[in-house]
């Protein structure tokens, strides 16, 4: 069974609208819904915003028996246009720094890999789905931290290590972290709702968030249906 983590209600609602049926499987936080799409069963969790909420929700999905984890929703673009679907090959933290304690890379949690690689087979399926949908998409890297970044100063520290950085969010690396610990395949599908550092970033987010959520939901639906 596929487990999908949504940080916000609008992101979850965009996908529930595409499902054939749905039932609440857990009525306490985090809320978990069971649904079916094209014969594929999925458990959907509304995690709330941020890394700790995302990690907790992911653990709850695993307790429900999911065997695949997908982070779906919106993201801030890094030199990536609004409306672009980001399907990263790897994710990492931008708010972790243990570089004073050994050979750790900036963004690396001690004892963990420097970044978390998305499952290559799932990634290929998502890219195929995006191309079949005629969506504008990009791969590269996505970074996660507990801040709605409105300037690129912090991200500039990663330019040499991750020159393919395309987007930021507040959950995906934490979900990937738990997936890594549990040896489960992981994928990210995020659509850019705003561009980090743009003068209009806050208003862009408010204007494009729901449309971006729908685009991500549509790609997830195609991945699940095999279309």
pLDDT of residue 226: 74
pLDDT of residue 74: 98
Contact 41, 106 (CB under 8 A): no
Whether the per-residue pLDDT at 26 is higher than 80: the answer is no
**Apex 130 CA angle, 191 and 6, nearest 5:** 40
Helices (H), 4-94: 9-16, 51-63
pLDDT digits (tens, 9 = 90+) for 140-174: 999 999 999 999 999 999 999 999 999 999 999 99
At CB < 8 A and 24+ separation, what contacts does 118-124 make?
A: 118/87, 118/88, 118/89, 118/90, 118/91, 118/176, 118/186, 118/187, 118/188, 119/68, 119/185, 119/186, 119/187, 120/89, 121/185, 122/68, 122/70, 122/185, 122/186, 122/187, 122/223, 123/87, 123/89, 123/187
pLDDT digits (tens, 9 = 90+) for 12-24: 999 999 987 765 6
List domains and CATH numbers for the chain: 2-225 (3.40.50.1580)
pTM of the model: 0.95
pLDDT of residue 168: 98
Q: Percentage of residues in the chain with pLDDT exceeding 90?
A: 88
pLDDT of residue 31: 82
Contact 138, 166 (CB under 8 A): yes
Whether the per-residue pLDDT at 184 is higher than 80: the answer is yes
pLDDT digits (tens, 9 = 90+) for 41-90: 899 999 999 999 999 999 999 999 999 999 999 999 999 999 999 999 99
Task: State the catalytic residues.
Answer: 11, 194
Tell me the angle at which helices 172-182 and 51-63 cross, rounded to the nearest 10 degrees. Answer: 40
Whether the per-residue pLDDT at 224 is higher than 70: the answer is yes
Total length of the chain = 227
pLDDT of residue 225: 86
Report the Cα 181 to chain-centroid distance in Å: 17
Block residue for tokens 């799409």: 37
Contact 170, 119 (CB under 8 A): no
Cα–Cα distance, 26 to 13 (Å, whole number): 16
């Amino acid at each position: 069974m596929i487990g999908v983590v949504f940080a916000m209600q609008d992101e979850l609602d965009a996908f529930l609208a595409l499902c054939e049926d749905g039932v609440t499987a857990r009525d306490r936080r985090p809320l978990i819904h069971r649904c079916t799409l094209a014969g594929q069963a999925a458990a959907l969790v509304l995690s709330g915003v941020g890394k700790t909420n995302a990690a907790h929700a992911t653990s709850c999905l695993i307790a429900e028996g999911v065997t695949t984890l997908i982070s779906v929703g919106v993201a801030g673009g890094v030199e990536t246009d609004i409306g672009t679907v980001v399907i990263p090959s790897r994710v990492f933290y931008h708010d972790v720094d243990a570089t004073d304690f050994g050979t750790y890379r900036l963004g690396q949690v001690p004892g963990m890999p420097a970044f978390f690689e998305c499952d290559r087979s799932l990634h290929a399926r998502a890219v195929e789905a995006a191309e079949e949908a005629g969506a504008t998409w990009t791969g590269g890297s996505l970074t996660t931290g507990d801040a709605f970044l409105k300037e690129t100063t912090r991200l500039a520290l990663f330019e040499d290590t991750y020159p393919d950085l395309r987007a930021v969010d507040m959950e995906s690396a934490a979900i990937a972290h738990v997936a890594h610990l549990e040896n489960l395949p992981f994928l990210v599908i995020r659509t850019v709702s705003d561009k980090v550092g743009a003068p209009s970033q806050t208003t862009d987010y408010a204007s494009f968030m729901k449309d971006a959520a729908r685009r991500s939901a549509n790609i997830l639906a195609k991945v699940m249906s095999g279309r």
